[in-house]
Structure 1
Amino acid sequence: MSDLQTRPAPVVCGGRDDVAGGPVRELLKPRAVPLGESTVVRRLLPTLGRRMVGAWCFVDHYGPDDIEGEPGMQVPPHPHIGLQTVSWLHAGEVLHRDSVGSVRTVRPKELGLMTAGRAIAHSEQSPREHGRLLHGAQLWVALPGEHRNVAPAFEHHPGLPAVTGPGFRATVIMGELDGAASPGTAYTPIMGADLELADGADVRLPVEPDFEYAALTMSGITEVDGVRLEPGSMLYLGCGRRELPLRADAGGAGLVLLGGEPFEEKLVMWWNFVGRTGEEIAQARADWMAGERFGRVEGYDGAPLAAPDLPAVPLKARGRTR
């Protein structure tokens, strides 16, 4: 999924200076961002004061949207460098095409994982024949310096491991949770899990004290470490926990838990690029506009996205949270 803003602001992120050493409870406020022709997403990361959670550097939550009789998601071909995209659905289907030749329909609770590495382009759209509802999250993972120029690739994992217990089921999207490991390729110590909480569930989930975490409520009303969350809200939790208390109201709830070791390197994120310098970002933009480096997405009926103009001020990596 792309950042389709016509005037994207540069975001500086990374570095461990501003990571709290102990637990926190910081509610991240979403902002509405149009995506393509008919989808509006709630952007939760990056946001003012919080840029990353481990290597997770971008979180959009969308839906549930009624797209019956509508085109649904329609995101034209666009470029990426220096990151991985994680497509995660609770309802609907997304047809992924990319410039390394992948054509795959991603369905609920299946992992669509694209590694941009040195350069890739892709499109995302609801299939012509699609269900009534579209509901999901789009996530980006920053690649560490030694892997940011790996060859581009796409993985589709329809079957993922799960951790179960009284009142909950956790599907492991990325990394490891309580001994269950995702098959998705990860380049940093990271985890992502989709949790289904039963009606009235009261759970204490084991977590890593050296990881920082955030919880995104997908459906229902959850209580995360004593903080009540409605759908589409995200709570940053910091580090220092060995277990995480979770509760669900009547009717059950669903949430996505993201975590990882605080990301040490400082980054520049602009539009759909994650780099280390403004010059690297500017070169990626120039290459995309010149039709070089990123390849071609075959089969999409429409023109690729044009890159926005670069900001007048230099792009520099200055800090992690502000």
Structure 2
Amino acid sequence: MTFKALLATKNGDTISSQLVDFKEEQLMPGDVTVAVEYSTVNYKDALALSGRSPVIRQFPLIPGIDFAGIVETSTYPGIEAGDRVLANGWGLSQTHHGGFAQKARVSGEWLVKIPAVLSTRDAMAIGTAGYTAMLSVLALEHGGLTPSHGDILVTGANGGAGSVAIALLSQLGYRVIASTGRLEEADYLRALGAAEIIDRHTLSEPGAPMGKERWAGAIDSVGSHTLANVLAQTRYRGVVAAFGLAQGVDLLASVLPFILRNVTLAGIDSVQAPQPARLQAWSRLASDLDLGKLARTTQMIGLAAVAEIAAKVLEGKVQGRTIVDVNA
């Protein structure tokens, strides 16, 4: 028996990918085998396929940091054949075959049972981007922020994580400011719940170490000068959740927001997050995310179109979330 998979290979410094017929015995060790129904294209997937960042650590490898599907076989306690499960991060697309295939075999420790109100398609419409957005919202709440504290800024607003963050925050009652380089897509951001839209260029250049207090908190997917300026304009006792590097990995910031305004910078990691944090995030996504708004953020493609879409993600030309129907 064979199944379709997108396989990444490396020749010198060049990474390429192609659809292949893969054998189940070629899958890596694991105690759960899943019939994958959907995956998704995240920013990290785009980095992996382009080779711009060394996400993939060994070749050849099936990329895809997410998948959702139905368990075929399991020897892992608590997971049985027929269960609907998802996986985000861990070693997928780094050292272990990932989700851009019709089958996956992984450790049961990596899996989360999909909440009943979500379909496998919904789970991948959310994907790592949306799950990371939820982890970020939880960090703001952990820092004590409530809607009464003031506005929340979301950078990279048109991207997958930004789109879900806006939908979540607005549903929870926060007033959201969306920062974007695509002002022509303002109607899309307003439909998700953004109350105000600002041009990302107002944040992307080197700025003063301290600025006017503008927002109570922020969710940042950009990094570099943008994150430094976000911190500089965060209100007293504000919280900034940061997980991205779209502008760069540098952070030329000042300590002044931390020691004069008591600002908290909360780092968000979705790859190695412990199981309790994952379960909490997915439980909250099931209860707090408006599935109608989620549907507005999504487009569907097949495995053959993954590489093309990944290139557009890096160019900032993809709005919202891209679901991959691995059986299309």
TM-score, normalised with respect to structure 1: 0.24
Name the structure with the higher helix share: 2
Q: Which has the higher contact order (CA 8 A, sep 6+)?
A: 1
Q: Which has the larger radius of gyration?
A: 2
